[in-house]
Structure 1
Amino acid sequence: MTVTTRPITLADKQAWLEMRVLLWPENPHDHRIEVGRWFAGELAEPQAVIIAADGAKPVGFAELSIRAYAEKCDTRNVAYLEGWFVLETERRRGAGRALIEAGKQWGRKLGCSEFASDAFPGNKVSIAAHLATGFEDAGVIRCFKQKIQKQD
């Protein structure tokens, strides 16, 4: 497989949608809406989507943004890997690494000197892939939430 990376095009819309559903299967209908709104210019994030392709066939994607802050980073305005996916049949062939390199290059062009990401603590495949592509473990945080009652 010869993997290339490039910015997403409208021709990739269906493939991106299908891969997003594989990565985040909880709400497939929401992905269709988000992808449509993103291509219509109605969503600010992700700021960029990179496609990994084997010839003309999309085999993976990276969704990128710039975050003002990322855990354990020393700088502001950190390039951030919001979503990263490679089709299971295409893994361990260089597509994931190529997407990471393209993401770093994107961030570098925008003046970033750090690249960050996250993964759920139990997602061993994602953690291993991050470590294999040069990310350092910045630790685990636990998130909390609380509802705010409306005032009458």
Structure 2
Amino acid sequence: MTLKPVSVRPLTSLDGEPWSRLRQALWPDQPADAHLVEIEEMLGGQGAVGYGYGAFDPEGELVAFAEVSIRAYANGCTSTPVPFLEGIFVEERSRRTGVAGQLLAQIESDLRNRGFVELCSDAEMHNTSSHLAHRQWGFVETERVIYFRKPLGT
């Protein structure tokens, strides 16, 4: 792996459009305009407390992002409240170059400075590439859960 030179910083409202574009690539089932609304809510402190971080290439283009929320509780965690990695995405051309690791290093540093002792995350059962990535980033699997739903007819 060749480390890609990027700069990492918290995202701001000035990053809304490129951030929204990368969110759309990660979460395509959500309408594009809904991503912008969620970004505005996150930056405005509405709803769940959340933070966005971006990795920028030498030309200043956003090539990756990660979002962290502060949850009251997360399965497998030992502290509360707990920071939770809600999503992380690296553009195809920047993958396998250490960009995600650089994003996480900055996030972890900021969280430690705020007094947090752990960072939690999740991945869908079938997403084995995400499982591998999490292990490479230093995450340890804590449990597996399958959720069920039963409609309550009238």
Q: TM-score range by the shorter chain?
A: 0.7 to 0.9
Residue identity over aligned pairs, in percent, reads 34
Gap change, CA 1:78 and 1:42, over 3 Å in 2? closer
Q: Name the residue aligned to 2:127.
A: 123
Q: Name the residue aligned to 1:3.
A: 6
Over aligned residue pairs, what C-alpha RMSD do you find? 2.0
Please point out which of 26, 29, 35 is paired with 1:31: 35
Q: Distance in 2 between matches of 1:139 and 1:12?
A: 35
Please point out which of 6, 17, 29 is paired with 1:14: 17
Q: Distance in 2 between matches of 1:81 and 1:64?
A: 5
Which moved further from structure 2: 135-144 or 90-99? 135-144
Letter of the structure 2 residue corresponding to residue 118 of structure 1 = D
Q: Name the residue aligned to 1:51.
A: 54
Whether the 8 Å CA contact 2:63–2:91 is kept in 1: the answer is yes
Whether the 8 Å CA contact 1:5–1:51 is kept in 2: the answer is yes
Which structure 2 segments of 5+ residues have no match?
A: none
Q: Distance in 1 between matches of 2:145 and 2:110?
A: 27
How many aligned residue pairs are there? Answer: 149
Q: TM-score, length-normalised on structure 2? A: 0.86
Q: TM-score, length-normalised on structure 1? A: 0.87
Whether the 8 Å CA contact 2:48–2:69 is kept in 1: the answer is yes
Which structure 1 segments of 5+ residues have no match?
A: none
